[in-house]
Amino acid sequence: MPVREGIYGLLAEFNTPGELVVATEEARRAGYRRMECYTPYPVEEAAEALEFHKNRVPMVCLLGGLMGVTTSFLMETWISVWAYPLNIAGRPLFSWPAFIIPAYEWTILFAGLSAGFGMLALNGLPQLYHPLFNAPNFRNGATTDKFFLCLESVDPKFSPTETRSFLEQFHAVSVVEVEL
């Protein structure tokens, strides 16, 4: 990986979600690809504007659930039929209706843990350091009441001067450089 130097990107701050969405759509239209919006609550229109559709959380959750049901049902069968067979009121050793209940619970357990931790993993969290926290106005607003668009310097179209003037046409409260 080459040594990254210079700036991470240009960060535009907006007061309303509407301004952010318009700016994002325009940036996308102008050919920018490496960018991200930062909002204090989920703004679906911003995800639309970023054309972000590759959400793999449901798949991770499904795989977890399938793993849970298989693991627990096979484990119960192995334990009750082979490992530790017990005669309980004359019931068959493979009394599968009774096995459904723990298997059901473990399906939910594995699926839920996969959804939760899978989401964190796909998001690359925990990541306690990020260049954006260097921006002076980011922490004051991104988790409270401001809406940010960051055009990143790794984008081939990025140029410190042109990108700045591009962002400034959208009535941004401020456009600041984010140090790496």
Q: Which is nearer to other proteins, 7 or 167 (CB)?
A: 167
- 3 state SS of 155: coil
User: Whole-number minimum distance, CB 5 to other proteins, in Å?
Assistant: 22
Residue 112 token pair: 């839920």
- 3 state SS of 74: helix
Residue 66 token pair: 């399938």
Q: Which is nearer to other proteins, 97 or 156 (CB)?
A: 97
User: Whole-number minimum distance, CB 174 to other proteins, in Å?
Assistant: 17
User: Whole-number minimum distance, CB 26 to other proteins, in Å?
Assistant: 7
DSSP lists the bridge partners of residue 147 as 14
Q: Which is nearer to other proteins, 57 or 173 (CB)?
A: 57
Q: Which is nearer to other proteins, 33 or 102 (CB)?
A: 102
Which residue in the block uniquely carries the two structure tokens 């990541």?
Answer: 127
According to DSSP, residue 151 is labeled E
What Å distances lie between residue 150 and 70, 106, 115, 116, 169, CA to CA?
44, 41, 28, 27, 15
User: Whole-number minimum distance, CB 57 to other proteins, in Å?
Assistant: 4
